Amino acid sequence: MPVVASVVTQDVRFPTSLDLDGSDAVNVDPDYSAAYVRVVLDNGEEGHAFVFTCGRGNEIVTSAMDSYGRLLVGRDADELVGDLGAASKRLVHDSQLRWLGPEKGVSQMACGALVNALWDIRARREGKPLWLLLSEMSPEEIVSVVDFSHIRGALSPDQALDILRRGQDGKTERIAALEADGYPAYTTSPGWLGYSDEKLVRLSTEAVEAGFSMIKLKVGGALEDDRRRLALMRREVPGVPVAIDANQRWEVDEAIEWMNALAEFEPYWIEEPTSTDDILGHAAIRRAIAPVRVATGEAVANRIVFKQLLQAEAIDVLQLDATRVGGVNENIANLLLAARFGAPVCPHAGGVGLCEVVQHFSFFDYAAVTGTQEGRFIEYVDHLHEHFAEPVRIERGRYAAPARPGTGAEMLPESRERWTFPAGGGWVEVGDRAAVTAPHETPAEV
């Protein structure tokens, strides 16, 4: 019987701050990073996973993964991978470590990565990409991996089973459709706050020509800049839906005022208008700015907060993230909650590797949960894909179905080596020019 021989972490960072890729009103200078982990079995099998961070603090997440990893070393791997519901509970509800959350922040992200690494082993063993593995699992087994604690009142196991059983109708055809045509994407690449107007228009025009369903702009720096950029989009790139993203920048009243000043440009949604934890604030904003949709989720820590956002009618669109919550299991719960409340899921992506991993959840959602792509698309950002074993493929503005067995998280060993912080060859060349090595000041008004 194979056992977990080691859990190996790596602090991998990319100097994206050099070009202001990924800049927004709050994250002004991210160096996209991956707290990377491999769960290695004594028979040579490996499961890969990572947590995305913006640079500083990546070492905290790797250290948390080391701590949680000790709970796995020496354990029977077949037992862990054969019952991923129990494996997840063993990590998430560890009697001592849970004090650090519970179920939020660094500890939840670290747990999620280890859970995902176990799913990676399972998917590799079955020779399937994660989305297909999930789509072909029975409704009963899917329900068995979900932790229903604290969400039962909104979604019971029986209700989840009903959703998944309905999702079996036409599943084979939908899997074939995904393999042939993929899943719609929207792009954030043109809209970073640090980009010039010329670059915004040029990249947006290219995105429309490439077939993307929507473009997203960062907002919330200065109102006049937001009005100018949105007017520019409407004039120079007409006809394409434009979503906007404030990255939690505003107070509730401020969000309503700011959005009223942008309403004439008819944004498709406003993303993260205020603190992700402010459920009632989101609900107030949503009521005040209708019909503009409210979207959030990339910083939502767990299924319990998503449950409340849905119960409070605080969001129109649920944006799950692949490495924020407690792994595949909790994202299945999030998909089922969204299905129960009729909210479309449009996953958060970008960063480094998030596109590669999060696409699997939308593919599964279409194949075996909601069976629809209406009002749904996966975020796309065109950075750093070349570092992955199976980079995402975008064809005619759609994500092509990933085919490689696993969760999509595997980063090439030479990339990990070169960008290990701070000793990798890439970082020796960058020296102190990146934000992570020469910290900028946080703007005073933030």
Q: Which residues contact 343 (CB under 8 A, 6 or more apart)?
A: 310, 315, 316, 317, 318
Is residue 245 at the binding interface for Mg ion, with CB under 5 A as the rule? yes
Smallest distance from Mg ion to CB 194, Å = 15
Closest residue to Mg ion, based on beta-carbon distance: 245
For Mg ion, which stretch binds (CB under 5 A), given 47-55, 134-142, 238-246, 400-408?
A: 238-246
The residue count of the chain comes to 446
For Mg ion, which stretch binds (CB under 5 A), given 113-121, 146-154, 235-243, 263-271?
A: 263-271
CB closer to Mg ion out of 17 and 135 = 17
CB closer to Mg ion out of 274 and 329 = 274
Total interface residues for Mg ion by CB under 5 A: 2
For Mg ion, which stretch binds (CB under 5 A), given 95-103, 105-113, 138-146, 245-253?
A: 245-253
* Pairing, β 183-191 against β 46-53: unpaired
Active-site residue flag, 89:
no
Is residue 11 at the binding interface for Mg ion, with CB under 5 A as the rule? no
- Closest to 143 in 3D by CA, of 159, 118, 160: 160
**Which residues ranging from 272 to 331 are in contact with Mg ion (CB under 5 A)?**
none
- Closest to 237 in 3D by CA, of 275, 193, 274, 198: 198
CB closer to Mg ion out of 10 and 276 = 276
Smallest distance from Mg ion to CB 30, Å = 12
Block residue for tokens 């990798």 = 424
Smallest distance from Mg ion to CB 193, Å = 12
For Mg ion, which stretch binds (CB under 5 A), given 58-66, 218-226, 264-272, 285-293?
A: 264-272
CB closer to Mg ion out of 295 and 336 = 295
CB closer to Mg ion out of 281 and 424 = 281
Smallest distance from Mg ion to CB 71, Å = 32
Q: Phi and psi at residue 287, in whole multiples of 5°?
A: -65, -40
Smallest distance from Mg ion to CB 244, Å = 10
CB closer to Mg ion out of 271 and 365 = 271
Task: Compute the distance between CA of residue 305 and CA of residue 276 in angstroms, rounded to an integer.
Answer: 9
Task: Compute the distance between CA of residue 352 and CA of residue 53 in angstroms, rounded to an integer.
Answer: 9
Token pair of 188 as six digits: 């954030």
Beta bridge mates, 242: 215
Tell me the CA end-to-end span of the chain in Å, nearest whole number: 54
Contact 368, 339 (CB under 8 A): no
For Mg ion, which stretch binds (CB under 5 A), given 66-74, 141-149, 270-278, 321-329?
A: 270-278
Q: Which residues contact 180 (CB under 8 A, 6 or more apart)?
A: none
Task: Compute the distance between CA of residue 14 and CA of residue 325 in angstroms, rounded to an integer.
Answer: 23
Following DSSP, what letter does each residue of 186-200 receive, concatenated? EEEEEE-TTS-HHHH
Q: Which residues contact 416 (CB under 8 A, 6 or more apart)?
A: 10, 12, 36
Task: Compute the distance between CA of residue 38 and CA of residue 381 in angstroms, rounded to an integer.
Answer: 25
Active-site residue flag, 360:
no
Is residue 379 at the binding interface for Mg ion, with CB under 5 A as the rule? no
Catalytic residue among 104, 348, 360, 387: 348
CB closer to Mg ion out of 21 and 271 = 271
Q: Which residues contact 196 (CB under 8 A, 6 or more apart)?
A: none
Smallest distance from Mg ion to CB 319, Å = 7
Smallest distance from Mg ion to CB 161, Å = 33
Contact 406, 124 (CB under 8 A): yes
Task: Compute the distance between CA of residue 412 and CA of residue 423 in angstroms, rounded to an integer.
Answer: 17
CB closer to Mg ion out of 24 and 410 = 24
| Burial track 305-316 (b if 16+ CB lie within 10 A, e otherwise) | bbbbbbeeebbb
Task: Compute the distance between CA of residue 243 and CA of residue 233 in angstroms, rounded to an integer.
Answer: 11
Catalytic residue among 216, 218, 307, 360: 218
Smallest distance from Mg ion to CB 126, Å = 33
For Mg ion, which stretch binds (CB under 5 A), given 12-20, 42-50, 269-277, 418-426?
A: 269-277
Enumerate binding residues for Mg ion (CB under 5 A). Answer: 245, 271
Q: Active-site residue numbers? A: 218, 348
